Structure 1
């Protein structure tokens, strides 16, 4: 099953509250919204991708519990980016002071900020071009670091604002002290079939 994009005419653009209500009324659907207001319906992942994503997310949660530097989010969290898009990265992290700067009602709905870090884990049916475009959108909206992991190609693309992506072939580990102090994502297990 492929991603489905529904273009919305200008006369039927959803407000932020209407989009939030639409997502809440359809909890079994994974819906994002582009900066132009198009609704993007994404299929659920398969078992291998879902398992690997859970394992990666667990590493972030454990690191964050130990350091208490911010908040970790999974793919069920939608962020309202500055360009108007609503995106749900597979893993996201927001620095503590930025999270605490939000009002309680902003934290409850779709947080109106770009995370400090995002990770996208490609499913076998995902388009590389679409995933790369999403990573560029994250960088253009203030994300400080992004990792795009492509298991099929056995590579990771590292995104930083103002720089072209750095491509690593089958890295054993990933880290970035300036954004994720003390965090190391071990990937040796990840590349095993």
Structure 2
């Protein structure tokens, strides 16, 4: 069964022997040739084109990346990725979260020649920020897929209604209402706290 990372009602899916036969290297080059598009790949190697996020969603993702990067700069515990970073997961899907973090130990597993491409590892922490065209139900499905592939902590942020969902392996997601709160990254990200207040829209 396909784990399809379709997160937009306007998403376009390419399938067929030619498409699904792409190697990881060929898919990477395919994405390099289309730098303005948001592209992911299912576990069956179908290619998914998604709508651009829009300014507010991009700004919210940028705020999350900023806070995560600041913490990582102070701790030097790993590497931080933006939405352009993609990961080739154990189930063969290639997904791009809005923000991600992988430990130094996980980064060390990435061959040097792969470090400027899609990484063949799963990050320990991911954040998905809902854009207006995203389906919330499908984002929840995507978060579950992240967990199945090895993510240890995930935040799903819905800035439209001020709700956050915290995902951890083996536990039901925790729903946090109101962006006057903070989300703890413990114990995966020691000392990291995501301040949701900058994400509020008056």
Give the structure-1-normalised TM-score. 0.95
Contact 2:61 2:129 in 1 (8 A): yes
CA distance in 2, matches of 1:44, 1:5: 12
After superposition, the C-alpha distances for 1:120-157 in whole angstroms (9 at most, x for unaligned) are 00011110111111100000000000000011122111
Unaligned runs of 5+ in 1: none
CA distance in 1, matches of 2:80, 2:123: 10
Match of 1:140 in 2: 148
CA distance in 1, matches of 2:46, 2:18: 13
- Per mean C-alpha deviation after superposition, the further-off stretch among 18-27 and 42-51 is 42-51
Match of 2:198 in 1: 189
CA distance in 2, matches of 1:94, 1:132: 21
CA distance in 2, matches of 1:7, 1:45: 20
If asked which structure has higher relative contact order (CA below 8 Å, sep 6+), I would say 2
Instruction: Indicate the RMSD between aligned Cα atoms, in angstroms.
Output: 1.4
- Pairing of 1:31-180 with structure 2 (within 5 A): 31-171=39-179, 172-180=181-189
Shift of 1:96: 0.8
Give the structure-2-normalised TM-score. 0.91
Count residues in correspondence.
Answer: 193
After superposition, the C-alpha distances for 1:3-34 in whole angstroms (9 at most, x for unaligned) are 42324124541111111110011111111001
Contact 2:19 2:47 in 1 (8 A): no
- Per mean C-alpha deviation after superposition, the further-off stretch among 156-165 and 132-141 is 156-165
Contact 1:3 1:40 in 2 (8 A): no
Match of 1:9 in 2: 16
CA distance in 2, matches of 1:145, 1:3: 28
Q: Secondary structure at the match of 1:158?
A: strand
Shift of 1:87: 0.4
CA distance in 1, matches of 2:201, 2:161: 13
Contact 1:5 1:38 in 2 (8 A): no
Unaligned runs of 5+ in 2: 1-7
